[in-house]
Structure 1
Amino acid sequence: MKKIFILVISFGLSTTIFAQSRKYISQFSHLQGYYNPALTGYEGSMIRGFVRNQWAGWEGAPKTYFASAELDFGQLSGQASGDILGKNAAGISILHDQYGAFAETEFVASYASRIQVGEKTNLRLGAGLNYRSIRLDGNSMTTEQADDPIVGQYFGSFSNMQVLDFNLGIAVTHPNYYVSYAVHHVNQGAINSGDVFMERMPRVGIFQAGYRNRINDNLAVATNFMYRSQSDLPDNLELNLKVVLKEKVWIGGGHRIDYANNFQFGLLFDKMRIGYIYEMPMLRSYLLSNVTHEFMLTYVLFGERRGMIW
């Protein structure tokens, strides 16, 4: 069975389709600023942490770790209040992902600027500087990778590659909804150093949208949508729906088209929220049947938690 798992992992890790290492995060609605720099600081100044253990129980299964800090300059100066925060925000994100023979660490520094176009509606523009370090362990290669003309030359040794790139984003936001679009790898990884064991990275288009509303004092709903496209991979479509009870607990579910379903549970506190997801792959996706666990924690830096969750 372990050999089957290795084949599944190695399917997308050759040089020509290296981007098969796409990061799946079921709680994507809590990490808006990572996917789109224009949404940096949308929920105010916050610290976020995240762990994803994919296909739990399998040796070498992908593991993802994430941490970020976002700062709204209006809150820092004490001028921001209510649902309309400051005009500028900045953030930094660190994501580490390990899958098969590859270990990848990504640093993203992002900046967003807000233009108020309505009483509570804003147009946000953002840019991010993306630095990625990729380590290849030649001792963990599969047979297919060892036979690859580019990656195979590192069989039995270690190699490292660094890539510098840019992300751009635009968003329309409101306390009850957001619509956004971002492009990752704008320069397609043209600025790189070290051992070049992968071709240029394709640009990734990311469309996100969400809506939330309070039905009464004890009940609120939130739904989110994300669509990703790039030239060398099938399109990725994810949806989720949450029900928030008394601003204390949320329950919900999500679906990744043709890939997985998940159940969600979370707790809300004055300055903190904790989320957990139990994800199950779909049988027709031809992936391993083991489940995936996700844990998420966010902490509000200034004041108390603002409004409902996404």
Structure 2
Amino acid sequence: MHDTYGAFKETAFLAAYASRVRLSASHQLRLGAGLNYQTIRLDGNALTSEQARDPLIGQYLGGFSDMQIFDFNLGLALTHKSYYFSYAMHNVNKGRISGGEDFMDGKPVVYLIQGGFRETLSPQISLIINGFYRSQEGLPDNIEFNVKTLLMNKLWIGGGLRFDYASNLQFGVLFDKIRLGYIYEFPSTRSYLLFGQTHEFALVYHLSRKDSNPSANDLNMW
């Protein structure tokens, strides 16, 4: 991930691994962990007047500084072919392992709760619902819902809502090993964190699939 916001340029790399434990014929417990490495560059020439007066970052006014942060992510999920529930924590160590110039006071812990449900309504139509909750110190809580209709297990259309932030429209196509998706997101009139429309494009490629001939009732997306 690479992002630029104000005087900061951030690049992050995440390596994650997940394993599953079968609880019953239809339920599985999935456990995951991730290593997160971030490098952040501060351009002291691009600081705002308010940032320049900050005692922590104001000392870097007129120069360039770099900082590296290493942290961990943890998560678990209960999964079924028709639904799932999951809980995760990002930045478990709060960014205490760092190097370079310490112009950021660590990283806040992020708490994530997700859930989803999917069901085949007919041989041609399936319904998929996802919910998402995110909490982080210093930011408002984020709640999001998405609803998608999958047609003939090939074409999906849907929409979503991030409360007090934005709404979105979704479209995508599923092939044997490739998935293509597009999301158009537009902010709500009350949003103060999003100022314009967002276009998101997704490409997913499956390196291998255990079942090359899934049943008509087996949905292959969430």
Please indicate the TM-score interval, normalised by the length of the shorter structure.
over 0.9
Instruction: Point out the more displaced range, 191-200 or 280-289.
Output: 280-289
Cα distance in 1 for partners of 2:74, 2:166 equals: 29
Report the equivalent of 2:127. 221
Q: How far did 1:117 drift? A: 0.5
Report the equivalent of 2:220. 308
Q: How far did 1:116 drift? A: 0.3
> How much is the aligned-residue C-alpha RMSD, in angstroms?
1.5
Report the equivalent of 1:156. 62
Instruction: Point out the more displaced range, 255-264 or 129-138.
Output: 129-138
Compare relative contact order (CA 8 Å, sep 6+) and give the higher one, 1 or 2: 1
Greater strand proportion: 2
2:80 partner letter: H
Contact 1:180–1:208 (CA<8 Å) still a contact in 2?
Answer: yes
Q: Which runs of 5+ in 2 are unaligned?
A: none
Summarize deviations over 1:142-195 as a string: whole Å, max 9, x none: 221122111112222211110111111111011221100001111111100001
Change in 2 beyond 3 A, CA 1:299/1:305: farther
Greater helix proportion: 1
Contact 1:283–1:289 (CA<8 Å) still a contact in 2?
Answer: no
Q: TM-score, normalised by structure 2?
A: 0.92
1:298 partner letter: V
Cα distance in 2 for partners of 1:215, 1:120 equals: 20
Cα distance in 2 for partners of 1:212, 1:305 equals: 20
Contact 2:165–2:194 (CA<8 Å) still a contact in 1?
Answer: no
Cα distance in 2 for partners of 1:166, 1:100 equals: 26
Q: How far did 1:140 drift? A: 2.0
Sequence identity percentage? 56
Summarize deviations over 1:24-59 as a string: whole Å, max 9, x none: xxxxxxxxxxxxxxxxxxxxxxxxxxxxxxxxxxxx
Contact 1:212–1:308 (CA<8 Å) still a contact in 2?
Answer: no
**Number of matched residues?**
216
2:67 partner letter: M
Q: How far did 1:109 drift? A: 1.4
Largest Rg, 1 or 2: 2
Please state if 1:296 is matched with 2:202. yes
Q: Which runs of 5+ in 1 are unaligned?
A: 1-94
Aligned pairs (5 A) from 1:10-159: 95-159=1-65
2:133 partner letter: Y
Report the equivalent of 2:155. 249
Contact 1:272–1:305 (CA<8 Å) still a contact in 2?
Answer: no
Report the equivalent of 1:269. 175
Q: TM-score, normalised by structure 1?
A: 0.67
- Indicate the SS of the match to 1:234: coil
Please state if 1:184 is matched with 2:96. no
